[in-house]
């Protein structure tokens, strides 16, 4: 979690310096979800997510250097700089993308999950998505399809209460809880979890995955969370009160989780300091790696269009 | 006359239309409380209230289609998409509903709706967020497609589009929002379907639209340094196409270049070039010169992205290659 936080603080800094450009969406505040959920996956499981994807990528173990280089648009990046922040991919790790068309990732997840079912493996596909994306038709279509076909999908809602400037209560008819809606599609395994609590997320994911791997079809988890910063770097955040943000910041997993660990005597301050120092070094190194990597050669514009 | 930005021109057009006709209302994602992704609708919610400035869920198919329904019932919705790329989510409602319902009903209903959307690339948003589907919509009977390049045209065409009884795709190249230009202080309209000579010249006719006009005017400046007098024609509307203005110019200059910032293959530039050849081959000194975007998705990384977008020098080189000018 600390790696994701430091990495993203650095991304923000590099954006202001003009090294990272385009749209940059930070996951700051939501780290416990990616870390808790992805820690429970097997190497052959698939992950698809939205454009707010750095957390999922790093939690899956995508290379920090290549991730930063991708954000810099350099040839050493995960996709040689062609995708950028919103479109991180590492197919070898089953990480089939950040996707920037809201709701675009749901059907893809269905197909990936179908492949596991077709090949009779116990693999699953986890699809991460935001509260705002549940207003797209694809969400409802895929929930139904996945349930009818009993596809091994874990629908993982990162409910940070806002889709850009729109709080859920201004754009959603179903109230503040989303998980009960899964039952409408015959998805019985639907849970809600504190998205600021990495252990709780881990537990909920473990149980859901067991159900899916046992052949019960899709499962649904809603994690309640909050993005501490704007929607993207271009967002002046005029639509919400800072008191709302402050209340959530008090639950920041980056501070609360280590405090818990220390209180339980599971780790010492000195050990934490050591971890932090090594993570800080890893992040600094990623910037150096990205800076040293050249821009892709001109020919790359024309490659990777067809297989 | 007052100098304002393209963005301000659009906002003024929306305000004038809202003031003029109570049936006009706006809807789209985050156009109200958030002030609009590109701030075109900034402040309108306070002035006109939530009935007329409606924030929508992220449900393009639903609210674009709802725009069609409201228009059929006689209202004049102005629907905003955050990006022309997102129109694909609603493309069935646009192509199969907005464009067809009048025809299928034998003329019983009409669709006085405007669909505004920022288009284009050049700001490193990568492949899915850098597209300009106005080219596609321009090949759809039943739609009108408008692509202003100046604040004057943006304001005048927006008023005409909102008053038009047909569905109009109003494409705003996002690179233009901050550009400035003079507009009259009194209300005015620019008619849909009329091209505009943005610069007069006698040696070659250069045809484009939207952001491409900036490139063409720049190329015309450079060409002038070598004594070549280029005429720049801004189509302003892609459907219906004003080929008469183009033809008149081509038959005067005897040379033609078409700039299409979109994918070169099977785009509107190809249609215009073919039509010029068909109409005016007797007057031409050579084939119609063509400049288009590369047939590639748009990459995130800046050097490659720029490599795919037509630059001023491409225009100059193409003219040199085709006509030896
Ligand atoms: C089809 C489509 N419509 C609109 C957008 C613009 N957009 C990008 S993210 C976003 C908000 C999504 O909110 P949510 O799903 O809650 O995810 P969050 O950003 O909160 O993580 C919007 C409206 C888009 N990218 N694609
Ligand atoms: Mg959200």
**The total number of residues written for chain A in this structure:** 307
pLDDT for position B86: 98
CA distance A109 to A46: 8
Sign of CA dihedral B312, B313, B317, B323: positive
Q: Does B281 lie in the same domain as B222?
A: yes
pLDDT for position A231: 97
Domain that holds residue B302: 196-323
Q: Does B138 lie in the same domain as B62?
A: yes
Is the link from the previous residue into B240 a cis peptide, with omega within 30 of 0? yes
Domain annotation covers residue B190: no
Q: For A105-148, what is each residue's pLDDT tens digit? A: 999 999 999 999 999 999 999 999 999 999 999 999 999 999 99
Domain boundaries, chain A: 2-295
Query: From the list A86, A170, A295, which residue is nearest B303 (CB)?
Result: A295
First to last CA, chain B: 38
Listed residue (A157, A171, A177, A264) closest to A221, CA to CA:
A157
The secondary element (H helix, E strand) that includes residue A130 is strand A125-130
Mean pLDDT of chain A: 98
Q: Does B148 lie in the same domain as B297?
A: no
Q: Does B162 lie in the same domain as B26?
A: yes
Q: What is the CATH number of the domain that holds B224?
A: 3.40.50.920
Domain annotation covers residue B49: yes
Superfamily of domain A2-295: Thiamin diphosphate (ThDP)-binding fold, Pyr/PP domains (3.40.50.970)
Q: Does B212 lie in the same domain as B294?
A: yes
pLDDT for position A197: 98
Q: Does B171 lie in the same domain as B228?
A: no
Q: For A267-301, what is each residue's pLDDT tens digit? A: 999 999 999 999 999 999 999 999 999 999 999 99
Q: For B109-118, what is each residue's pLDDT tens digit? A: 999 999 999 9
H helices of chain A, where? 2-16, 31-38, 54-59, 64-71, 105-118, 137-148, 168-171, 198-211, 242-249, 253-263, 269-292
Tokens (6 digits) for B55: 């924030």
Mutate to test the interface with B, among A68, A129, A131, A165 (most CBs of B within 10 A): A165
Q: Does B51 lie in the same domain as B79?
A: yes
H helices of chain B, where? 6-20, 44-48, 60-72, 91-92, 101-104, 134-137, 151-163, 212-225, 243-253, 268-280, 302-308, 312-323
Q: For B244-280, what is each residue's pLDDT tens digit? A: 999 999 999 999 999 999 999 999 999 999 999 999 9
In this complex, do A300 and B299 lie within 8 Å of one another by their Cβ atoms?
yes
pLDDT for position A127: 99
pLDDT for position A294: 98
Q: Does B24 lie in the same domain as B163?
A: yes
* Three-class DSSP labels, A22-70: CCCCCCCCCHHHHHHHHCCCCCCCEEEEECCCHHHHHHCCCCHHHHHHH
pLDDT for position A181: 97
Q: Does B151 lie in the same domain as B6?
A: yes
What average pLDDT score do residues A233-242 get? Answer: 95
Q: Which of B157, B183, B209 is the last residue of a domain?
A: B183
- CB contacts of A133 in chain B (<8 Å) are 58
- Distance of CA A71 from the midpoint of ligand 2 (Å): 22
Long-range Cβ pairs for the range A183-189 (8 Å, 24+): A185/A140, A185/A143, A185/A144, A185/A146, A185/A147, A186/A147, A186/A148, A186/A217, A187/A143, A187/A146, A187/A147, A187/A155, A187/A217, A187/A218, A187/A219, A187/A220, A188/A216, A189/A216, A189/A218, A189/A219, A189/A220
Q: Does B148 lie in the same domain as B267?
A: no
Domain annotation covers residue B188: no
Q: For residue B163, name the pLDDT band (cuts at 50, 70, 90).
A: very high
- pTM given for the model: 0.97
What average pLDDT score do residues B196-206 get? Answer: 98
In this complex, do A172 and B57 lie within 8 Å of one another by their Cβ atoms?
yes
pLDDT for position B90: 98
DSSP 3-state assignment of B225? helix
Q: What is the CATH number of the domain that holds B172?
A: 3.40.50.970
Query: From the list B85, B123, B296, which residue is nearest A22 (CB)?
Result: B123
Sign of CA dihedral B295, B317, B208, B12: positive
- CB contacts of B308 in chain A (<8 Å) are 301
What average pLDDT score do residues B162-189 get? Answer: 98
pLDDT for position A22: 97
How many domains in chain B? 2
């Amino acid at each position: 979690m600390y790696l994701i936080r430091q990495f993203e603080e650095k991304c923000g800094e590099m954006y202001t310096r003009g090294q990272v450009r385009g749209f940059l969406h930070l996951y700051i505040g939501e780290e416990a979800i990616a870390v808790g959920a992805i820690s429970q996956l097997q190497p052959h499981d698939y992950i698809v997510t939205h454009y707010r994807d750095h957390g999922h990528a790093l939690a899956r173990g995508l290379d920090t250097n290549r991730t930063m280089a991708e954000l810099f648009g350099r040839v050493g990046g995960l996709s040689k700089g062609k995708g950028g922040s919103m479109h991180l991919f590492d197919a070898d790790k089953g990480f089939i993308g950040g996707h920037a068309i809201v709701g675009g990732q749901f059907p893809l997840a269905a197909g990936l999950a179908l492949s596991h079912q077709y090949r009779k493996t116990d693999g699953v596909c986890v699809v991460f998505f935001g509260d705002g994306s549940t207003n797209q038709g694809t969400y409802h279509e895929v929930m139904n399809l996945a349930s009818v076909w009993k596809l091994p999908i874990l629908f993982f809602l990162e409910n940070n209460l806002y889709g850009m400037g729109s709080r859920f209560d201004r754009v959603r008819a179903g109230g503040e809880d989303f998980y009960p809606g899964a039952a409408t599609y015959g998805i019985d395994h639907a849970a809600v979890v504190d998205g600021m609590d990495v252990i709780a997320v881990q537990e909920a994911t473990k149980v859901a995955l067991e159900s899916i791997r046992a052949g019960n079809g899709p499962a649904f988890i809603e994690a309640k969370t909050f993005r501490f910063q704007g929607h993207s770097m271009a967002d002046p955040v005029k639509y919400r009160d800072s008191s709302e943000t402050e209340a959530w910041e008090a639950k920041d997993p980056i501070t609360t989780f280590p405090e818990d660990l220390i209180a339980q005597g599971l780790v010492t301050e000195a050990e934490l300091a050591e971890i932090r120092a090594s993570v800080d070094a890893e992040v600094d190194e990623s910037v150096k790696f990205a800076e040293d990597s050249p821009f892709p050669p001109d020919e790359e514009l024309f490659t990777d269009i067809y297989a | 006359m007052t100098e304002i930005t393209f963005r301000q021109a659009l906002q003024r057009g929306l305000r004038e239309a809202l003031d003029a006709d109570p049936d006009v209302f706006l809807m789209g994602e985050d156009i109200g409380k958030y002030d609009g992704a590109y701030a075109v609708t900034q402040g309108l919610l306070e002035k006109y209230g939530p009935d007329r400035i409606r924030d929508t869920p992220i449900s393009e198919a639903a609210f674009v289609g709802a725009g069609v329904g409201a228009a059929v019932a006689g209202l004049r919705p102005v629907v905003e998409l955050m990006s022309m790329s997102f129109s694909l989510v609603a493309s069935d409602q646009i192509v199969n509903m907005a464009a067809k319902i009048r025809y299928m009903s034998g003329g019983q209903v009409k669709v006085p709706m405007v669909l505004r959307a920022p288009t284009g690339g050049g700001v490193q948003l990568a492949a899915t967020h850098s597209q300009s589907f106005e080219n596609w919509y321009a090949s759809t009977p039943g739609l009108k497609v408008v692509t202003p390049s100046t604040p004057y045209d943006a304001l005048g065409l927006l008023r005409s589009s909102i008053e038009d009884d047909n569905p109009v795709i109003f494409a705003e190249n996002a690179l233009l929002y901050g550009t400035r230009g003079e507009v009259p202080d009194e209300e005015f309209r620019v008619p849909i379907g009329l091209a505009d000579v943005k610069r007069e010249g006698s040696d070659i006719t250069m045809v484009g639209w939207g952001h491409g006009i900036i490139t063409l005017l720049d190329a015309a400046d450079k060409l002038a340094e070598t004594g070549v007098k280029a005429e720049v024609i801004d189509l302003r509307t892609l459907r219906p196409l004003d080929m008469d203005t183009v033809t008149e110019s081509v038959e005067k200059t005897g040379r033609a270049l078409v700039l299409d910032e979109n994918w070169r293959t099977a785009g509107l530039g190809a249609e215009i070039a073919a039509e010029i050849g068909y109409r005016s081959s007797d007057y031409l000194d050579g084939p119609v010169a063509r400049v288009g975007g590369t047939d590639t998705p748009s990459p995130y990384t800046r050097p490659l992205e720029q490599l795919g977008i037509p630059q001023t020098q491409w225009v100059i080189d193409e003219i040199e290659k085709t006509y030896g000018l």
